[in-house]
Homo-oligomer: A and B are copies of this chain.
Amino acid sequence: MSICDFNHYLIRPGQNMKLAEVSSDPWDDLPSKKSEAKEELSRLQERLSDLQQRFFVDRRKKMLLVLQGMDTSGKNGTIRHVFRGVNPQGVHVASFERPSSRELAHDYLWRVHKRAPSEGEIIIFDRSHYEDVLAVRVNNLKPETVWKKRYRHIRDFEQLLYDEETVILKFFLHIDRDTQKKRLQERLDVPAKNWKFDQSDLVARSKWDAYVQAYEDVFAETACEHAPWYVIPANKKWARNLLVARIVVACLEDMHLSYPQVDYDPAKIVIK
């Protein structure tokens, strides 16, 4: 499969998409049975593990995967399930929690750029610089004159990374309000999940529409060919994982990665 096969999940540059018009339930190119999905995911994990090893050894490209989504959309779950088989030497997760005071004292891309990938490395952003035009905007942490300029900075920053050999894929894990309610309730009902619950999630939930608006603006401002946004229907965890895995694998397949050519004949070397 090639990455082009997923163009129907892609936000076209300049497209004014409305999230409400996109289903967050699995689309019909996904298996109808959960068991089939599981089997396919485990095949994809193996393939990803092999491709990632080639990517790591090849060292021609850098890779940046951005995961964004409402609370409970499954950013952590996606990382855990899709990337479980890979070599931790070449794959790293950068989580962008609330910035520290040292981070806040710098421009907002300072802490982000520090975590940009190097050659052969895959970096997964669990939240990202997009929070600086999402949470920051919705919670009025900066005036509009400040955050409005950031779309341009972000486009420029991703252009720099792209020009410097970084492959960028951005995923929006798309859930609906009911799914979020169910998952938050589960965190209250299941004792082993209580630790995941955070009062501030309810505050964010009460601003759902403002977040939707902010995300739609992000897509309109920052979807581009070299740093595309994929909207992943994420009401079903198995579908979400499968789709992200398919897209990442297809992207790596398209690179036709092979192990480096050697300049000696291994058959002629005798190890005494």
Contacts and interface: CB of A to CB of B under 8 A. Distances in A.
A153 B160 contact: yes
A163 interface: yes
Contacts of A119: 105-106
Interface string A59-101: 1001000000000000000000000000000000000000000
A6 interface: no
Contact of A153 (B59, B114, B120, B159): B159
Interface string A132-149: 000000000000001001
A163 B159 contact: no
Contacts of A62: 106-107
A156 B162 CA distance: 14
Contacts of A105: 59, 118-121
Contacts of A109: 113, 160
Nearest to A155: B156
Contacts of A157: 156, 160
B163 A153 contact: yes
Q: How large is the interface on A (under 10, 10 to 19, 20 to 34, 35 or more residues)?
A: 20 to 34
A233 to B, nearest CB: 33
Contacts of A121: 105
Given A153-B159, A159-B156, A164 B107 contact: yes
Contacts of A108: 164
A104 to B, nearest CB: 8
Contacts of A156: 153, 156-157, 159-160
Contacts of A106: 62, 116-119, 164
A18 to B, nearest CB: 29
Interface in A151-176: 152-153, 156-157, 159-161, 163-166
A27 interface: no
A160 B107 contact: yes
Given A107-B165, A110-B116, A113-B113, 9 more contacts: A106-B118, A106-B164, A107-B164, A149-B163, A152-B159, A153-B156, A153-B160, A156-B157, A156-B160
Interface of A: 59, 62, 102, 105-110, 113-114, 116-121, 146, 149, 152-153, 156-157, 159-161, 163-166
Q: Shortest 6 CB-CB distances between A and B: which pairs?
A: A156-B156, A107-B164, A105-B118, A113-B113, A105-B119, A153-B160
15 contacts: A59-B105, A62-B106, A62-B107, A106-B117, A107-B116, A107-B160, A107-B161, A107-B166, A109-B113, A110-B113, A110-B114, A110-B116, A146-B163, A149-B163, A152-B159
